[in-house]
Structure 1
Amino acid sequence: MDGHDSEDSKQSTADMTAFVQNLLQQMQSRFQTMSDSIITKNILNLFLLPLKINELEQSINDLRAEMGVEGTPPPASKSGDEPKTPAGST
């Protein structure tokens, strides 16, 4: 019986090893897929960010124009801390 139990034990160990290796490969594959997806989305967002900022600035300028606010700031200023003065009053 010892020989038979030893074979079963070896087969059990081999089955468990194969199962764990398969599980680890699946986890690694899923992790890689998620990682690639996150990186792709972040790169895409980095490229789209300037366009979104320009759209936001245009929307703000459109709203200011609708409200009749004059002296809208230029699209890109060097510092947000500069005092805003109405157009033509320097």
Structure 2
Amino acid sequence: MDGHDPENAKQSTTDMTAFVQNLLQQMQTRFQTMSESIISKIDEMGNRIDELEQSISDLRTEMGQEGSPSPSAPLKTKEEPKSTDE
């Protein structure tokens, strides 16, 4: 004999097939978990952006009610010094 048992080769192929299938299943499970996590984080970010937009809208409305300049007008960060020679 040449050292290759056909039954052994068949069993080895079956074992390798089972191993590869198991590995692929594990990879698919991990991929699915990661995908769900990413989608969840994207949804959370979308909700936070919606809340931020609502807060900005509320602030604009509040500013408009107080007679402040419109949000599209440039905001002054410092008051301009008043000249005394007028």
TM-score clears 0.5: yes
Matched length: 66
Tell me, in whole angstroms, the C-alpha distance in 2 between the residues paired with 1:63 and 1:14. 68
Q: Does 1:7 align with 2:19?
A: no
Residue from 46, 49, 71 that aligns with 2:50: 46
Q: Tell me what 2:24 maps to.
A: 20
Q: Tell me what 1:37 maps to.
A: 41
Tell me, in whole angstroms, the C-alpha distance in 2 between the residues paired with 1:29 and 1:10. 29
Q: Which amino acid aligns with 2:51?
A: F
Post-superposition offset of 1:45: 1.2
Displaced runs of 4 or more, over 3 A: 53-62
Instruction: Give 5+ residue unaligned stretches, structure 1.
Output: 68-90
Q: Which amino acid aligns with 2:42?
A: I
Tell me, in whole angstroms, the C-alpha distance in 2 between the residues paired with 1:8 and 1:54. 69
CA root-mean-square deviation: 2.8
Post-superposition offset of 1:52: 2.2
Percentage of identical aligned residues: 12
Q: Tell me what 1:63 maps to.
A: 75
Work out which structure has the larger RCO, using CA pairs closer than 8 Å and 6 or more positions apart in sequence.
1
Tell me, in whole angstroms, the C-alpha distance in 2 between the residues paired with 1:32 and 1:39. 10
